[in-house]
Amino acid sequence: MNPATRAAVAGARRSPRRLLLTGLAVLVATVFAAGAVLLTATLRADLVDGASALPAGATFAVETDGDEGAGTAAVADRLREVPGVSAASVSRTGIASVVAGGASGSWMLSTDPMTGPLHGLAPVTAGRLPAGPGEALLGAGTADRTGLVPGDTVGVGDRTLTVTGVVPVGAEYGDVLVVADDDPAAAGLYGSRIALAGDPDPAALAATPGVVQVRTADEQRDEDLASASTSANAVLAGLSVFVGLALVAAAVVVASTFRIVLARRSRELAMLRCVGASRGQVTRSVLAEAALTGLVAGVGGALVAVGGGWAAPAVAGASGVDLPAPAVPWGRLAGCVLLAVVVTVLAALAPALAAGRTPPVVALGAADASGARAPRARVRLPLAAVALVLAVVLAVAGVGMGSPLAGTALAALSGMLVFAALVVTGPFVVSGAAALVAPVVARWAPGRIAVGNARRMSRRTAAMATVLSLGVGLTAALLVGVAGASADARESIERNYPADMVVFADPAEQDPAELAARLDAAPELTARSDDGIVLVDPVPGADPVAVRTAVVRGAGEASVGFTADIREQTESAVGAVRWIGLGLVGITLLVAVVGVGVTLALSVGERTREIALLRTLGLSRAAARRAVAFEAALAGAVAAVLGVVLGGVYGVLALKATGIGALTALPLGQLAGLAAVVVGVAVVASVGPMRRAGRVEPAHGVAAA
């Protein structure tokens, strides 16, 4: 072990707080990245469950040549004989004439194995699963509308089925009945997809007569999700951006932390040079310290994220909100840990090289921090200008791309360039904000001290503000995006389903106007014909079961859609995204607390002599604490303004790029609340450094003099 490394280990044992603060910054950034991975994977799994009928236990999905009835069943029988196949199930669905409660109507009839690895239903909420032919399950919405309960019977064709249970169905826009695969009532249903369980050879599956396509289960689910909703893929792509941006935030926080730590250790590093340590040894010892810090903190951050992911559904459930269990992609979480190490080492590279260049002569004098060095405008401003021009070009290209995924990717890249420009110009932005505030606090000593520190140490304050602005911007963009998606969904429902119930009649068999008149004659209903469909609303105060019975009896074989079910499904999807947003808000605030707290804690330690001298000149303990709090509030305010403005712009840009919806009004109340919370959180994060600043005694300043 070289002298520099031995000195670093001894320093860590002597002052573990330094490593703890650095590691805490990496840990929280890893929680942010891992949390974004978990949330995205969970949302994706939830969307896939709603978009794909493929059972969770399936390993392959096989498409047949489309022959109905015995043809598909025969292909399934042949597939069961393929080595490695443990189970096969034909996914069948169709419209059937069902008699329930004395009324006949068109219901959606589907099949499920009910047991085994290819069983794809949610747990029953009442009753039990069918034990064999002649028994069926009701959709939960259907049970509410019809008043049917386990033990009742329904007629399907010439057969009578006994309802044994009630089960939630993903997209229940009409009445739904589920029977076992081998039930004769499902004999006429069409199905060309076969789900397989086991580990067969795909080539053997493709060679089976009647098979036209073989996909793995994951490939089929991705295809189903893409076919069902391009906007869902755009949302997932947007959420995936959080991972990359979280790592950028980690790099900024860690680089700032290492810069401050090494500036305080410059005299120690110079002493190492005096006793024979080479530049390379000093640099390598700093990088080794960074790698170890990144590994330990990265593993800890991933574990915290997983624990939080499992705790969130329990907490939400106690509040009456149903959240899906988290999907834990262990491979991507391991990638987060690896990236945490890489980002930490890269963030420490510049400070490590600077440490290696520390001349031995520094050991002979007092080593002051270098954070007060003024940023070079002639280098930073041209770089920022180039980044902003490229960001505008990419943003315009993303809007005009026409592809939601490509548009989202370009918008994300544009946002990354804007953030890079913000990092480069951060010191100038902070100095400008401090100059604007200076006249307001000219007569308040703590304010003058805080503004002076922010202007003199603009790079340090900018590091706090830029990390905060990143989190605020992501959250603001998400709030705007959810508001736009919600408004678009509500508008779509009101446009396509302007009544509580919509009856789709076949004009060749039934005149819509006559059907509307027949339904309107029922005392429980009001009905009208509009553009070939019949719109039905209940009379105020009518019994829901009586309303549903009257509609089904009057509609006959026509298909009936229930707006309440569609609205509930839409609100559930939007609610899932909203909860994802709340989770990201929580993680963002955690990043804010730790990022601001770490930077202020290190800076207060760096300025102990300065604070002591001010105390000698009459500054009170309370004033010293207020100066630190005001500095944190200033950084929080700069971050809040920048984040809300940029996040709002990119939220609208994302809506236009993805085509999810057009925003009619910004959620100004939510954005203002976000800004206020961030400023408050920044002040809360400064509590520890405030207390430390208040404990500095004037004697420290006298001794230093």
| CA pair distance 518, 365, nearest whole angstrom | 98
Do 471 and 521 lie in a common domain?
Answer: no
Question: Is residue 100 helix, strand or coil?
Answer: strand
Query: Domain tally for the chain?
Result: 4
How would residue 15 be classed by pLDDT, with cut points 50, 70 and 90?
low
Assigned domain for 691 exists: yes
DSSP state of 501: E
**Count of beta carbons in the 10 Å neighbourhood of residue 443:** 8
Hey, what amino acid is at 241? V
Task: Specify the residue for token string 């304010």.
Answer: 447
Do 463 and 516 lie in a common domain?
Answer: no
Give me the sign of the Cα torsion angle 199, 201, 204, 209: positive
Q: Would you mind telling me the total number of residues written for the chain in this entry?
A: 705
Per-residue pLDDT, averaged over 474-500, amounts to: 77
Please say which residue of 330, 346, 370 terminates a domain: 370
Assigned domain for 699 exists: yes
| CA pair distance 478, 306, nearest whole angstrom | 22
Assigned domain for 389 exists: no
Rounded mean pLDDT of the chain?
Answer: 77
Assigned domain for 344 exists: yes
As separate numbers, helices (DSSP H) first and strands (DSSP E) second, the chain gives 22, 14
Alpha helices, H only, 497-543: 512-520
* Residue of higher predicted confidence among 464 and 430: 430
Range name among 243-257, 366-380, 438-452, 552-566 with the lowest pLDDT average = 366-380
Pairing of strands 559-562, 501-504: antiparallel
Q: Side-chain half-sphere of 192: how many Cα atoms within 13 Å?
A: 10
| CA pair distance 143, 137, nearest whole angstrom | 10
Let me know: does 373 contact 260? Beta carbons within 8 Å.
no
SS3 content of the chain, % helix, strand, coil (to 5): 65, 15, 25
Residue 371 has pLDDT above 60, yes or no: no
Assigned domain for 87 exists: yes
DSSP state of 193: E
DSSP state of 49: H
Which one, of 286, 281, 285, lies nearest residue 258 by Cα?
286
* Residue of higher predicted confidence among 15 and 504: 504
* Model pLDDT, residue 150: 93
Output phi, psi for 252, to 5 deg. -65, -45
**Model pLDDT for residues 56-83, shown as the tens digit of each residue:** 788 999 988 765 545 788 888 899 999 9
**Model pLDDT for residues 445-474, shown as the tens digit of each residue:** 778 888 887 777 777 777 778 777 877 887
Assigned domain for 305 exists: yes
Share of the chain above pLDDT 90, in %: 6
Quote the distance between the C-alpha of residue 200 and its chain's center: 35
* Model pLDDT, residue 446: 79
Do 263 and 352 lie in a common domain?
Answer: yes
Do 71 and 20 lie in a common domain?
Answer: no
Do 577 and 436 lie in a common domain?
Answer: yes
Please say which residue of 516, 538, 557 terminates a domain: 557
Give the range of the structural domain holding residue 525, as residue numbers without chain letter: 506-557
How would residue 265 be classed by pLDDT, with cut points 50, 70 and 90?
low
Do 469 and 538 lie in a common domain?
Answer: no
Rg (the chain; Cα; Å)? 32
Do 139 and 170 lie in a common domain?
Answer: yes
Please say which residue of 329, 355, 370 terminates a domain: 370
Let me know: does 557 contact 468? Beta carbons within 8 Å.
no
Assigned domain for 229 exists: no
How would residue 369 be classed by pLDDT, with cut points 50, 70 and 90?
very low
How would residue 368 be classed by pLDDT, with cut points 50, 70 and 90?
very low
Per-residue pLDDT, averaged over 599-614, amounts to: 71
- Provide CB contacts within 8 A for 387, sequence distance 6+: 417, 418, 420, 421, 424
* Model pLDDT, residue 705: 42
Which one, of 199, 198, 195, 227, lies nearest residue 214 by Cα?
195
Residue 529 parent element (H or E): strand 525-530
**Model pLDDT for residues 88-119, shown as the tens digit of each residue:** 988 888 888 888 876 667 788 888 888 888 88
Which one, of 674, 671, 688, 676, lies nearest residue 633 by Cα?
676
Helix axes 266-274, 279-318, angle to 10 degrees: 150
Task: Specify the residue for token string 């580990």.
Answer: 199
* Model pLDDT, residue 330: 85
Do 540 and 567 lie in a common domain?
Answer: no
Do 255 and 323 lie in a common domain?
Answer: yes
Do 494 and 524 lie in a common domain?
Answer: no
* Model pLDDT, residue 198: 92
Range name among 164-168, 191-195, 532-536, 615-619 with the lowest pLDDT average = 615-619
- Whole-angstrom CA distances from 357 to 262, 300, 373, 460, 513 are 12, 33, 17, 21, 88
Hey, what amino acid is at 329? P
Do 85 and 155 lie in a common domain?
Answer: yes
Assigned domain for 127 exists: yes
Tokens encoding 347: 């963030």
Do 454 and 512 lie in a common domain?
Answer: no
Question: Is residue 253 helix, strand or coil?
Answer: helix
| CA pair distance 20, 8, nearest whole angstrom | 14
